[in-house]
Protein backbone atom coordinates (compact mmCIF):
# COMPACT_ATOMS: atom_id res chain seq x y z
CA UNK A 1 0.00 0.00 0.00
CA UNK A 2 1.17 3.51 -0.87
CA UNK A 3 1.27 5.98 2.02
CA UNK A 4 1.36 9.77 1.66
CA UNK A 5 2.37 11.75 4.74
CA UNK A 6 1.39 15.45 4.67
CA UNK A 7 4.27 17.13 6.51
CA UNK A 8 4.47 20.54 4.81
CA UNK A 9 2.83 22.69 7.48
CA UNK A 10 4.45 25.39 9.57
CA UNK A 11 2.90 24.55 12.93
CA UNK A 12 1.49 28.00 13.67
CA UNK A 13 -0.61 26.84 16.63
CA UNK A 14 2.45 25.20 18.16
CA UNK A 15 4.07 28.65 18.31
CA UNK A 16 7.47 27.23 17.41
CA UNK A 17 9.83 28.88 14.91
CA UNK A 18 10.07 25.77 12.72
CA UNK A 19 7.94 22.94 11.37
CA UNK A 20 6.45 21.28 14.47
CA UNK A 21 7.29 17.85 13.01
CA UNK A 22 10.92 18.64 13.85
CA UNK A 23 10.15 18.97 17.56
CA UNK A 24 11.17 16.04 19.73
CA UNK A 25 9.16 13.77 21.99
CA UNK A 26 11.09 11.13 23.92
CA UNK A 27 14.28 11.90 21.96
CA UNK A 28 12.75 11.41 18.50
CA UNK A 29 11.19 14.00 16.24
CA UNK A 30 7.45 13.83 15.64
CA UNK A 31 8.18 12.97 12.00
CA UNK A 32 10.45 10.11 13.10
CA UNK A 33 7.73 8.60 15.31
CA UNK A 34 5.26 8.71 12.41
CA UNK A 35 7.80 7.10 10.08
CA UNK A 36 8.60 4.37 12.61
CA UNK A 37 4.90 3.45 12.76
CA UNK A 38 4.77 3.34 8.93
CA UNK A 39 7.91 1.19 8.83
CA UNK A 40 6.41 -1.23 11.38
CA UNK A 41 3.10 -1.52 9.48
CA UNK A 42 3.80 -4.43 7.13
CA UNK A 43 0.97 -3.48 4.74
CA UNK A 44 2.77 -0.23 3.83
CA UNK A 45 5.29 -0.66 1.02
CA UNK A 46 6.02 2.91 -0.17
CA UNK A 47 6.13 6.23 1.67
CA UNK A 48 5.85 9.74 0.18
CA UNK A 49 6.59 12.63 2.55
CA UNK A 50 4.93 15.82 1.34
CA UNK A 51 7.07 18.64 2.65
CA UNK A 52 8.66 22.05 2.10
CA UNK A 53 12.14 22.01 0.55
CA UNK A 54 13.33 24.33 3.35
CA UNK A 55 12.83 21.36 5.71
CA UNK A 56 14.55 18.80 3.47
CA UNK A 57 18.02 19.00 5.04
CA UNK A 58 16.45 18.20 8.44
CA UNK A 59 14.10 15.58 7.00
CA UNK A 60 16.97 13.89 5.16
CA UNK A 61 19.02 13.61 8.31
CA UNK A 62 16.01 12.13 10.16
CA UNK A 63 15.61 9.58 7.34
CA UNK A 64 19.32 8.73 7.41
CA UNK A 65 19.12 7.93 11.11
CA UNK A 66 16.07 5.65 11.03
CA UNK A 67 16.05 1.92 10.27
CA UNK A 68 13.78 2.33 7.24
CA UNK A 69 13.71 -0.44 4.62
CA UNK A 70 10.85 0.94 2.53
CA UNK A 71 11.27 3.34 -0.40
CA UNK A 72 10.74 6.94 0.76
CA UNK A 73 10.27 9.95 -1.51
CA UNK A 74 10.16 13.64 -0.70
CA UNK A 75 7.40 15.51 -2.54
CA UNK A 76 7.04 19.30 -2.60
CA UNK A 77 4.08 20.48 -0.51
CA UNK A 78 1.65 23.33 -1.11
CA UNK A 79 0.43 26.28 0.94
CA UNK A 80 -2.57 24.38 2.37
CA UNK A 81 -2.95 20.73 3.40
CA UNK A 82 -5.36 20.31 0.49
CA UNK A 83 -2.73 21.58 -1.99
CA UNK A 84 -0.10 19.39 -0.36
CA UNK A 85 -2.20 16.25 -0.82
CA UNK A 86 -2.97 17.30 -4.40
CA UNK A 87 0.79 17.44 -5.08
CA UNK A 88 1.25 14.10 -3.35
CA UNK A 89 -1.34 12.46 -5.59
CA UNK A 90 0.45 13.71 -8.73
CA UNK A 91 3.71 12.23 -7.42
CA UNK A 92 2.33 8.73 -6.73
CA UNK A 93 3.79 5.94 -8.87
CA UNK A 94 1.38 5.06 -11.70
CA UNK A 95 0.87 1.58 -10.24
CA UNK A 96 -0.89 3.03 -7.17
CA UNK A 97 -4.58 2.06 -7.20
CA UNK A 98 -5.29 2.91 -3.58
CA UNK A 99 -3.57 5.30 -1.22
CA UNK A 100 -3.50 5.96 2.50
CA UNK A 101 -2.99 9.52 3.66
CA UNK A 102 -1.72 9.98 7.20
CA UNK A 103 -0.79 13.32 8.79
CA UNK A 104 2.81 13.57 9.89
CA UNK A 105 1.49 15.28 13.02
CA UNK A 106 -0.38 12.11 14.14
CA UNK A 107 2.75 10.46 15.40
CA UNK A 108 1.00 8.20 17.91
CA UNK A 109 -0.77 6.12 15.28
CA UNK A 110 -0.20 2.39 15.75
CA UNK A 111 1.04 0.07 12.99
CA UNK A 112 -2.16 -1.94 13.61
CA UNK A 113 -4.39 0.99 12.64
CA UNK A 114 -2.32 1.66 9.50
CA UNK A 115 -2.55 -2.03 8.59
CA UNK A 116 -6.28 -2.30 9.19
CA UNK A 117 -6.95 0.82 7.07
CA UNK A 118 -4.69 -0.55 4.32
CA UNK A 119 -6.64 -3.80 4.29
CA UNK A 120 -10.04 -2.10 4.41
CA UNK A 121 -9.37 0.29 1.52
CA UNK A 122 -8.98 -2.68 -0.83
CA UNK A 123 -12.72 -3.32 -0.30
CA UNK A 124 -14.18 0.20 -0.62
CA UNK A 125 -13.61 3.57 -2.34
CA UNK A 126 -12.98 5.77 0.67
CA UNK A 127 -12.50 5.46 4.42
CA UNK A 128 -11.29 7.38 7.42
CA UNK A 129 -10.27 6.44 10.92
CA UNK A 130 -12.54 8.17 13.43
CA UNK A 131 -13.68 7.93 17.04
CA UNK A 132 -17.10 8.73 18.56
CA UNK A 133 -17.06 12.21 20.15
CA UNK A 134 -17.22 12.27 23.93
CA UNK A 135 -18.26 15.89 24.39
CA UNK A 136 -21.66 17.32 23.57
CA UNK A 137 -21.10 19.49 20.48
CA UNK A 138 -22.85 22.85 19.99
CA UNK A 139 -23.41 24.72 16.74
CA UNK A 140 -22.78 28.39 17.58
CA UNK A 141 -23.32 31.56 15.51
CA UNK A 142 -20.89 34.50 15.15
CA UNK A 143 -22.34 36.32 18.18
CA UNK A 144 -21.73 33.34 20.46
CA UNK A 145 -25.32 32.12 20.60
CA UNK A 146 -26.00 28.38 20.37
CA UNK A 147 -28.05 27.45 17.34
CA UNK A 148 -28.43 23.71 17.88
CA UNK A 149 -27.10 20.56 19.53
CA UNK A 150 -26.55 17.74 17.04
CA UNK A 151 -27.37 14.23 18.24
CA UNK A 152 -24.07 12.96 19.60
CA UNK A 153 -24.71 9.39 18.55
CA UNK A 154 -24.10 10.52 14.95
CA UNK A 155 -20.93 12.51 15.66
CA UNK A 156 -17.45 11.14 15.06
CA UNK A 157 -14.12 12.92 15.32
CA UNK A 158 -12.15 12.47 12.10
CA UNK A 159 -8.56 11.24 12.24
CA UNK A 160 -6.08 9.95 9.74
CA UNK A 161 -5.23 7.43 8.21
CA UNK A 162 -7.71 8.16 5.45
CA UNK A 163 -7.77 5.79 2.49
CA UNK A 164 -9.01 6.29 -1.06
CA UNK A 165 -9.18 4.92 -4.54
CA UNK A 166 -6.49 7.03 -6.23
CA UNK A 167 -8.39 7.74 -9.46
CA UNK A 168 -11.51 8.88 -7.57
CA UNK A 169 -9.53 11.03 -5.16
CA UNK A 170 -7.70 12.71 -8.06
CA UNK A 171 -11.07 13.45 -9.68
CA UNK A 172 -12.46 14.86 -6.42
CA UNK A 173 -9.39 17.08 -5.95
CA UNK A 174 -9.71 18.34 -9.52
CA UNK A 175 -13.40 19.12 -8.91
CA UNK A 176 -12.39 20.89 -5.68
CA UNK A 177 -10.01 23.13 -7.65
CA UNK A 178 -12.72 23.86 -10.28
CA UNK A 179 -15.33 24.71 -7.62
CA UNK A 180 -12.98 26.51 -5.22
CA UNK A 181 -13.80 24.14 -2.34
CA UNK A 182 -11.62 24.55 0.75
CA UNK A 183 -11.58 21.49 2.98
CA UNK A 184 -9.52 20.29 5.91
CA UNK A 185 -9.49 16.62 5.01
CA UNK A 186 -9.78 14.51 1.87
CA UNK A 187 -12.93 12.73 2.98
CA UNK A 188 -14.74 16.09 2.71
CA UNK A 189 -13.95 16.19 -1.03
CA UNK A 190 -15.47 12.71 -1.46
CA UNK A 191 -18.55 13.81 0.50
CA UNK A 192 -18.98 16.92 -1.66
CA UNK A 193 -18.77 14.73 -4.77
CA UNK A 194 -21.40 12.38 -3.31
CA UNK A 195 -19.07 9.39 -2.95
CA UNK A 196 -19.43 7.11 0.08
CA UNK A 197 -16.77 7.27 2.80
CA UNK A 198 -16.69 4.61 5.49
CA UNK A 199 -15.59 4.86 9.10
CA UNK A 200 -12.89 2.61 10.51
CA UNK A 201 -12.67 2.61 14.32
CA UNK A 202 -9.75 4.91 15.15
CA UNK A 203 -7.75 5.14 18.37
CA UNK A 204 -8.27 7.52 21.31
CA UNK A 205 -4.50 7.93 21.54
CA UNK A 206 -4.12 8.84 17.83
CA UNK A 207 -4.01 12.55 18.52
CA UNK A 208 -2.82 15.24 16.19
CA UNK A 209 0.03 17.15 17.76
CA UNK A 210 -1.20 20.73 17.42
CA UNK A 211 -0.33 22.72 20.57
CA UNK A 212 2.47 22.52 23.18
CA UNK A 213 0.05 20.70 25.49
CA UNK A 214 -0.28 17.91 22.92
CA UNK A 215 3.49 17.38 23.13
CA UNK A 216 3.19 16.72 26.86
CA UNK A 217 0.31 14.27 26.28
CA UNK A 218 2.28 12.49 23.54
CA UNK A 219 5.27 12.19 25.87
CA UNK A 220 3.02 10.59 28.48
CA UNK A 221 1.47 8.12 26.01
CA UNK A 222 4.82 7.09 24.51
CA UNK A 223 6.32 6.66 27.98
CA UNK A 224 3.45 4.43 29.09
CA UNK A 225 3.78 2.38 25.88
CA UNK A 226 7.50 1.86 26.44
CA UNK A 227 7.03 0.79 30.07
CA UNK A 228 4.27 -1.70 29.18
CA UNK A 229 6.52 -3.51 26.65
N1 LIG B 1 0.24 20.12 6.18
C2 LIG B 1 0.76 20.03 4.89
N3 LIG B 1 0.77 21.15 4.08
C4 LIG B 1 0.28 22.32 4.51
C5 LIG B 1 -0.29 22.41 5.81
C6 LIG B 1 -0.30 21.28 6.63
O7 LIG B 1 1.23 18.96 4.48
N8 LIG B 1 0.37 23.37 3.71
C9 LIG B 1 0.31 18.94 7.06
C10 LIG B 1 0.99 19.23 8.40
O11 LIG B 1 2.42 19.14 8.24
C12 LIG B 1 0.41 18.19 9.31
C13 LIG B 1 -0.97 17.91 8.70
O14 LIG B 1 -0.98 18.51 7.40
O15 LIG B 1 1.15 16.98 9.34
C16 LIG B 1 -2.09 18.44 9.57
O17 LIG B 1 -2.01 19.85 9.64
P18 LIG B 1 -1.89 20.73 10.96
O19 LIG B 1 -1.93 19.88 12.17
O20 LIG B 1 -2.83 21.86 10.81
O21 LIG B 1 -0.34 21.23 10.87
P22 LIG B 1 0.17 22.68 10.56
O23 LIG B 1 -0.59 23.26 9.41
O24 LIG B 1 1.66 22.59 10.45
O25 LIG B 1 -0.18 23.45 11.91
P26 LIG B 1 -0.97 24.87 12.06
O27 LIG B 1 -2.31 24.69 11.37
O28 LIG B 1 -1.07 25.07 13.54
O29 LIG B 1 -0.11 25.90 11.37
MG1 LIG C 1 -2.75 23.61 9.57
Ligand 2 centre and the CA of 11: distance in Å?
7
The count of other CB atoms within 10 Å of the CB of residue 115 is 17
| pLDDT score, position 77 | 98
Pick from 21, 85, 105, 158 the residue to mutate for probing ligand 1's pocket: most ligand atoms within 8 Å of its CB.
105
Pick from 12, 21, 62, 81 the residue to mutate for probing ligand 1's pocket: most ligand atoms within 8 Å of its CB.
81
| pLDDT score, position 7 | 98
DSSP secondary structure letter of residue 136: P
65 pLDDT exceeds 90?
yes
Could you say which ligand is closest to the alpha carbon of residue 84? 1
How far is it between the farthest Cα atoms of the chain? 53
228 pLDDT exceeds 90?
no
Ligand 1 centre and the CA of 228: distance in Å?
31
Q: What is the pLDDT of residues 146-160, one digit of tens each?
A: 999 999 999 999 999
Closest CA to 72 of 100, 30, 44: 44
Q: pLDDT band at 162, cuts 50/70/90? A: very high
Q: What structural domains and CATH numbers belong to the chain?
A: 2-227 (3.90.550.10)
| pLDDT score, position 229 | 72
Q: Cα separation of 113 and 211, whole Å?
A: 23
| pLDDT score, position 3 | 98
Mean pLDDT over residues 170-181, rounded?
Answer: 97
Task: List Cα–Cα distances, 198 to 34, 128, 156, 162, 190, in angstroms.
Answer: 23, 6, 12, 10, 11
Ligand 2 centre and the CA of 13: distance in Å?
8
| pLDDT score, position 97 | 98
Q: What is the pLDDT of residues 87-128, one digit of tens each?
A: 999 999 999 999 999 999 999 999 999 999 999 999 999 999
In this structure, the residues whose C-beta lies within 6 A of any atom of ligand 1 are 6-13, 20-21, 50, 77-81, 84, 103-105, 208, 210
Q: pLDDT band at 161, cuts 50/70/90? A: very high
- Atom from ligand 1 closest to the CA of residue 85: 7
Please tell me whether the overall predicted TM-score, pTM, comes out greater than 0.90 for this model: yes
Amino acid sequence: MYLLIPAAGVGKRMGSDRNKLLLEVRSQTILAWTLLAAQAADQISWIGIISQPIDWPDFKSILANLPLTKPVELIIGGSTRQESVYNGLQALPTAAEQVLIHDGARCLVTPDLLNSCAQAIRQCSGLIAAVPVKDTIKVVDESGIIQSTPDRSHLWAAQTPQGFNVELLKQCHAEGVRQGWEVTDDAALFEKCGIEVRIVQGEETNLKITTPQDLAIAEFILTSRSSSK
